[in-house]
Amino acid sequence: MYNADKVTNKIVKLQNKEEGMKKILGIILIIIMVSSLMIGCTKDAEEKTTDNDNTPVVEAVEETTEKDDAPKMEAVEIRFALWAGGKELDEFQAIADEVNAEANGEYKIIVESIPDNYIQKLSTQFSGKNAADLIWLSQDNIYAFAELGALYDITDLNQNSSTEILKEENFFTNIIKTAKYDNKLFGIPWIANPVIMYYNTSLFDKYGVDLPKADKDGVIGTEGEWTWDDFIALAKQFPNGDGAEDYGWITGGWPPIEMYLWAEGGDILDENYKSVINTPESIKGLELAKEILTSGITPDISTVWDQGFSEMFLNGQIAMIMAGAADDFELREMNNMTVDDIAYGVVPSGVDGKYHSFNWTASTVMNADTENPEMAYKAMEAMTLKFFGWKVTPPIKGGIDLIDEMLEGTKVISKPTIVAALADTRGGNYHTAYAEIDIWRNLFEPLLLETDSFDSAEMAQKLDDEINKILNR
Q: What does the pLDDT look like over 392-404, one tens digit per residue? A: 788 998 777 776 6
Could you tell me the residue ranges of all domains in the chain?
76-192+361-397, 194-359+429-472
pLDDT given at position 70:
52
What CATH number was assigned to the domain covering residues 194-359+429-472? 3.40.190.10
pLDDT given at position 69:
56
pLDDT(301) > 50: yes
Percent of the chain with pLDDT over 90: 65
pLDDT given at position 131:
98
Exposed / middle / buried, residue 138 (Cβ in 10 Å: 0-12, 13-18, 19+):
middle
State the pLDDT confidence band at 266, using cuts at 50, 70 and 90: very high
pLDDT given at position 397:
83
Query: How many whole angstroms separate alpha carbon 315 and alpha carbon 312?
Result: 5
What is the CATH superfamily name and number for domain 76-192+361-397? Periplasmic binding protein-like II (3.40.190.10)
State the pLDDT confidence band at 61, using cuts at 50, 70 and 90: very low
Q: What does the pLDDT look like over 166-217, one tens digit per residue? A: 999 999 998 999 999 999 999 999 999 999 999 999 999 999 999 999 988 8
- Please choose, from the candidates 465, 377, 412, 441, the residue with its C-alpha nearest in 3D space to the C-alpha of residue 188: 377
Mean predicted confidence (pLDDT) in 424-443: 86
Mean predicted confidence (pLDDT) in 287-292: 97
Contacts of the segment 455-460: beta carbons below 8 A, 24+ positions apart: 456/283, 456/286, 456/287, 456/290, 457/283, 459/286, 460/277, 460/278, 460/282, 460/283, 460/286
Q: Compare 145 and 26 and report the one with higher pLDDT.
A: 145
List the end-to-end C-alpha distance of the chain, in Å, as a whole number: 47
Burial letters for 217-242: b for 16+ Cβ neighbours within 10 Å, e otherwise?
eebbbbbeebbbeebbebbeebebee
| Same fold across 76-192+361-397 and 194-359+429-472 | yes
Mean per-residue pLDDT over the chain, rounded: 85
What's the residue count for the chain? 473
State the pLDDT confidence band at 16, using cuts at 50, 70 and 90: low
